C-alpha cells in the first residue's frame, strides 16, 4: 500500500509519490489548463435564494448535511453518530436509536438537546463548508453573527464559538461535574465542556472568542473519561488520500492535539477505542481518543473494456452478430441528460466491444453515431440556439447543468449519475479516435470538474457529491428531507468515478486520474458493503440480503420509482459496465447471495425490467452460473433489454466470465 503523501486543509490533492494507476486507453491527449468555462453560457436554473450561505461560499449541494442550509424549513442531517436538526435560532442534537423491521433499518433524528442562541433570529447561514463538515452562523436581526456552530462527520460533538459575548439556552438543565457539565436526557448522556464559558442550569454564557463543546457519551462510556479525551474543538479538517497497487487510503485529521472520533471496527486499528460504542444503522461505531483516522479499501482499477481474449468461438460469433445488428440500425439518443447519457454509454460499449474483438470496420461504423452525438452535446454555445442536448453554467450553485434537465438535475440532483455516462462515453470515443478530444474535450472537462473538482475554485466546489467518511456519494442536491441525504443507485455512482478516471487518463491529467481512482475504489467498496452484499447480521429483523436505498438516517428495501423486487436489485446493477466486475463473488457465500437475490428478483422482472442486468450479475457468481446465464441471454427477447444496454454488451459481459 502506498503511504499517504499529501494533505491539505479542506483540500484534496494527488500524492506526488503515489504509485501510478491508469485506465486503459489510447495515446493520452494533453490536458488543457484547469477548466475555465469552455464558453458555456451562464443561466441560473437552481433556486439560488434557497441556499443560506455567506457571500462567495458555494452552495453546499449533495452533502450529508445539505438539508441544514437550504430552504426555510428545518431538516435533519446525520453525522454518525449525532443527528443534527436546525431550528429557529438554534440547533437540536440527538443520538438516533436504531429500529429494524422487515424492509427498514432506521435511526430517526433525535432532539435530545436544543441549544438556542439568545438573540438569534431565523435559521443559520453557512460560513464554511467542505466534504467532511461545515460551520453555521447564527445572526441577530441586524445580520451580525452572534455565534458559530461547527460539526464534522464522525465527530460525536458540535462546537459553539462566540463571535461576541453571547448566551445560549439549553433545553435541559446541566449539572456541573468537576471540569465539565453533564446533561442526562432519558438514557442518553451528554457532556458540555467550555474553555472560558460558564454553565448555570440551562444557561450557557460564552465570552467573545470562547468555545463550548456538546458531545454525546456512548451508553457504555464514562462521562469523565470521555470529557477528558474530548480535547480541542474541531474546526477545519484535513483530508488526504493515496492510491497504491492494492488499495486506496483515506485520512481525515480532525484535531492535531486530539479529540474523540467515532469509527467502525475496521478503521480502529492502532487507536485507543476504550471510550465505548454507539449503535448506528450500519452497526457499532467505536468512540476513540484520536485526532485523526485513516483506513484502506481494496483498489478498484478503472477500466472501459472487457477481457474477451479467451472467449469461445460460439460466444464470439453471437457477439459479432449482435454488433452487426446494432451497426445496421440507427441509434436513438434522447435529449435529456439522464436517458441521453445512458444512450451515449450504450453506443460507447458497442464501440469498445468491437475494438476488443478486433472488428475495426464495425467499430468505426458504431463510432460514427457516437461521435456525432457527442459533438452535439459538447458544442459549447449549443444552449444559445437550442433548448436540449447542451450544457449551461449555473453561477448560483456553481456548476454545470444539462438541458433538458431530468430527475431534478437543475437543482443539482444526480449530477454524478448523469455525467458518469457522458464521461465513460467520451473516454471510449477518444480512445477510439484521439483527435476527437479537441472537439469534445473542453465541455467534458467541465462535467468532470462539476462532479469531482479535486479542490474548490471560483467555479466549482471541492468533490461536490462525495462524502469521504461514508466512502460514497450523495444524490440529492438540496436534501430537503427529515432522513438526511440519500443515494439509490450505487452502481451508477461507481460508473461515474470510473468514467472520470478513464477520461482523466485520456486527457493526460495525472492528478485527476489519481483522485478519480481513489473515488472509484471507495465507492466500489461502499457499493458492496452498504448496498449489494452488506453484513446485516446486526439486524436480524431485516429480511433481505441487500439494501436498495441508503439515507443518512435509514436503509430501505425500496426504490424511488417501483415496488418491484427486480427494480430494487436492478437499480444497484445498472448499467453493468466492465468496471462492475468488482461485484464478482470471491467465495461460495458471495456466490450464493448472488444466486438468491437474482432468483428473488426475477419473479417480476418481466414486468419491471432489469432482466438483462440480473443475468449479467448472475454470471459473476461463477463459471457454471455464467454458462447458465449465457443460455438465457441468447434467448432473451429484444424488448427485455434495457435502453441503456444492448444485446452485444450483455453477451460480451457474460462471455467474459465464462473462460
User: What does the mean pLDDT of the chain come to?
Assistant: 93
Where does the pLDDT of residue 36 fall: very low under 50, low under 70, confident under 90, or very high at 90 and above?
Answer: low
Quick check: 102 and 83 in contact, CB under 8 A?
no
Which residue in the block uniquely carries the three cell numbers 465505548? Answer: 276
CA dihedral sign of residues 252, 256, 258, 260: negative
State residue 35's pLDDT score: 58
Quick check: 460 and 394 in contact, CB under 8 A?
no
State the DSSP code for 589: H
State the DSSP code for 393: E
Res. 244: pLDDT tops 50: yes
State residue 38's pLDDT score: 83
Least confident of 16-25, 78-87, 460-469, 608-617: 16-25
Give domain 49-230's CATH architecture. Answer: Distorted Sandwich (2.70)
Least confident of 19-23, 347-351, 528-532, 533-537: 19-23
Give the 3-state secondary structure of residue 536. coil
0.85 surpassed by pTM: yes
Q: Strand 283-290 and strand 277-280: pairing?
A: antiparallel
Res. 32: pLDDT tops 80: no
Backbone angles phi, psi at 491, to 5 degrees: -70, -40
Instruction: Report percent pLDDT > 90 for the chain.
Output: 92
State residue 656's pLDDT score: 98
Res. 555: pLDDT tops 90: yes
Mean pLDDT value across residues 559-585: 97
CA–CA distance, 124 with 53 (Å, rounded to integer):
9
Mean pLDDT value across residues 221-228: 97
Q: What pLDDT digit, counting tens, does each position of 612-633 carry?
A: 999 999 999 999 999 999 999 9
Q: Give the strands of the sheet with 283-290, arranged side by side.
A: 259-263, 283-290, 277-280
Q: How far is CA 135 from the centre of its chain?
A: 21
| Distance (Å) of CA 548 to CA 134, 165, 412, 544, 570 | 28, 48, 21, 10, 9
Give domain 313-656's CATH architecture. Answer: Alpha/alpha barrel (1.50)
Which residue in the block uniquely carries the three cell numbers 430537503? Answer: 480
CA–CA distance, 232 with 195 (Å, rounded to integer):
9
Residue 396: Cβ-neighbour burial (10 angstroms; 0-12, 13-18, 19+):
middle
User: Which H/E stretch holds residue 555?
Assistant: strand 554-556
* Cell numbers found for residue 61: 449541494
- Taking alpha carbons only, the member of 231, 178, 173 closest to residue 200 is 173
CA–CA distance, 13 with 19 (Å, rounded to integer):
14
User: Which H/E stretch holds residue 483?
Assistant: none
Mean pLDDT value across residues 142-170: 98
Instruction: Report percent pLDDT > 70 for the chain.
Output: 95
Quick check: 8 and 449 in contact, CB under 8 A?
no
Res. 28: pLDDT tops 60: no
The domain locations on the chain are 49-230, 313-656
User: Which H/E stretch holds residue 576?
Assistant: none
State residue 15's pLDDT score: 34
Residue 301 contacts by C-beta under 8 Å, 6 or more apart in sequence? 21, 23, 517
Amino acid at each position: 500500500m502506498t503511504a499517504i503523501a499529501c494533505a491539505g486543509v479542506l483540500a484534496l490533492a494527488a500524492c506526488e509519490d503515489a504509485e501510478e494507476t491508469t485506465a486503459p486507453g489510447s495515446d493520452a491527449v494533453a490536458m488543457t489548463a484547469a477548466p475555465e468555462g469552455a464558453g458555456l453560457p451562464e443561466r441560473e436554473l437552481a433556486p439560488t435564494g434557497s441556499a443560506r450561505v455567506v457571500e462567495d461560499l458555494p452552495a453546499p449541494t449533495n452533502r450529508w448535511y445539505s438539508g441544514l442550509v437550504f430552504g426555510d424549513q428545518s431538516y435533519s442531517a446525520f453525522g454518525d453518530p449525532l443527528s443534527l436538526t436546525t431550528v429557529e435560532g438554534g440547533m437540536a442534537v440527538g443520538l438516533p436509536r436504531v429500529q429494524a423491521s422487515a424492509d427498514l433499518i432506521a435511526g430517526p433524528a433525535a432532539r435530545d438537546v436544543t441549544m438556542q442562541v439568545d438573540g438569534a433570529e431565523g435559521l443559520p447561514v453557512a460560513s464554511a463548508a467542505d466534504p467532511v463538515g461545515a460551520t453555521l452562523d447564527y445572526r441577530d436581526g441586524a445580520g451580525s453573527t452572534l455565534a458559530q456552530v461547527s460539526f464534522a462527520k464522525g465527530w460525536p460533538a458540535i462546537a459553539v464559538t462566540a463571535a461576541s459575548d453571547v448566551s445560549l439556552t439549553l433545553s435541559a438543565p446541566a449539572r456541573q461535574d468537576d471540569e465539565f457539565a453533564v446533561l442526562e436526557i432519558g438514557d442518553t448522556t451528554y457532556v458540555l465542556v467550555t474553555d472560558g464559558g460558564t454553565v448555570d442550569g440551562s444557561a450557557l454564557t460564552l465570552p467573545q472568542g470562547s468555545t463550548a463543546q456538546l458531545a454525546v457519551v456512548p451508553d457504555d462510556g464514562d462521562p469523565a473519561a470521555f470529557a477528558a479525551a474530548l480535547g480541542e474543538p474541531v474546526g477545519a479538517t484535513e483530508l488526504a488520500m493515496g492510491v497504491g497497487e492494492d488499495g486506496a487510503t483515506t485520512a481525515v485529521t480532525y484535531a492535531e492535539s486530539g479529540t474523540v472520533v467515532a469509527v467502525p471496527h475496521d478503521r480502529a486499528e492502532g487507536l485507543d477505542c476504550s471510550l465505548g460504542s454507539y449503535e448506528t444503522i450500519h452497526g457499532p461505531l467505536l468512540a476513540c481518543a484520536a485526532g485523526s483516522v485513516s483506513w484502506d479499501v481494496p483498489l478498484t482499477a478503472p477500466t472501459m473494456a472487457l477481457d474477451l481474449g479467451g472467449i469461445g468461438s460460439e460466444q464470439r460469433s453471437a457477439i459479432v452478430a449482435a454488433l452487426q445488428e446494432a451497426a445496421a440500425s440507427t441509434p436513438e439518443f434522447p435529449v435529456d441528460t439522464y436517458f441521453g447519457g445512458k444512450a451515449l454509454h450504450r453506443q460507447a460499449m458497442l464501440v469498445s466491444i468491437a475494438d476488443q474483438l478486433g472488428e475495426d470496420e464495425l467499430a468505426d461504423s458504431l463510432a460514427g453515431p457516437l461521435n456525432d452525438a457527442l459533438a452535439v452535446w459538447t458544442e459549447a454555445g449549443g444552449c444559445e440556439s437550442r433548448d436540449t442536448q447542451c450544457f449551461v453554467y449555473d453561477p448560483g450553485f456553481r456548476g454545470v447543468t444539462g438541458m433538458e434537465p431530468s430527475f431534478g438535475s437543475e437543482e443539482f440532483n444526480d449530477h454524478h449519475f448523469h455525467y458518469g455516462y457522458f464521461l465513460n462515453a467520451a473516454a471510449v470515443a477518444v480512445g477510439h479516435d484521439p483527435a476527437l478530444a479537441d472537439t469534445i474535450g473542453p465541455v467534458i472537462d467541465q462535467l468532470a470538474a462539476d462532479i469531482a473538482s479535486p479542490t474548490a475554485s471560483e467555479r466549482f466546489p471541492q468533490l461536490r457529491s462525495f462524502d469521504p467518511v461514508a466512502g460514497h456519494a450523495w444524490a440529492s442536491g438540496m436534501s430537503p428531507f427529515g432522513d438526511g441525504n440519500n443515494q439509490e443507485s450505487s452502481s451508477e455512482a461507481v460508473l461515474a468515478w470510473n468514467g472520470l478516471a478513464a477520461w482523466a487518463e485520456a486527457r493526460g491529467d495525472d492528478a485527476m486520474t489519481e483522485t478519480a481512482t481513489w473515488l472509484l475504489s471507495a465507492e466500489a467498496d461502499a457499493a458492496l458493503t452498504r448496498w449489494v452484499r452488506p453484513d446485516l447480521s446486526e439486524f436480524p429483523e431485516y429480511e433481505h440480503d441487500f439494501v436498495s436505498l441508503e439515507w443518512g438516517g435509514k436503509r430501505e428495501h425500496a426504490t424511488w420509482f417501483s415496488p418491484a423486487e427486480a427494480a430494487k436489485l436492478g437499480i444497484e446493477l445498472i448499467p453493468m459496465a466492465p468496471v462492475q466486475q468488482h461485484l464478482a463473488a470471491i467465495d461460495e457465500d458471495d456466490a450464493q447471495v448472488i444466486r438468491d437475490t437474482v432468483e428473488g428478483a426475477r419473479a417480476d422482472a418481466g414486468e419491471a425490467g432489469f432482466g438483462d442486468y440480473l443475468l449479467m450479475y448472475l454470471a459473476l457468481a461463477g463459471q457454471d452460473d455464467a454458462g447458465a446465464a449465457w443460455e438465457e441471454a441468447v434467448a432473451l427477447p429484444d424488448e427485455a433489454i434495457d435502453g441503456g444496454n444492448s444485446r452485444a454488451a450483455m453477451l460480451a459481459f457474460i462471455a467474459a466470465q465464462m473462460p
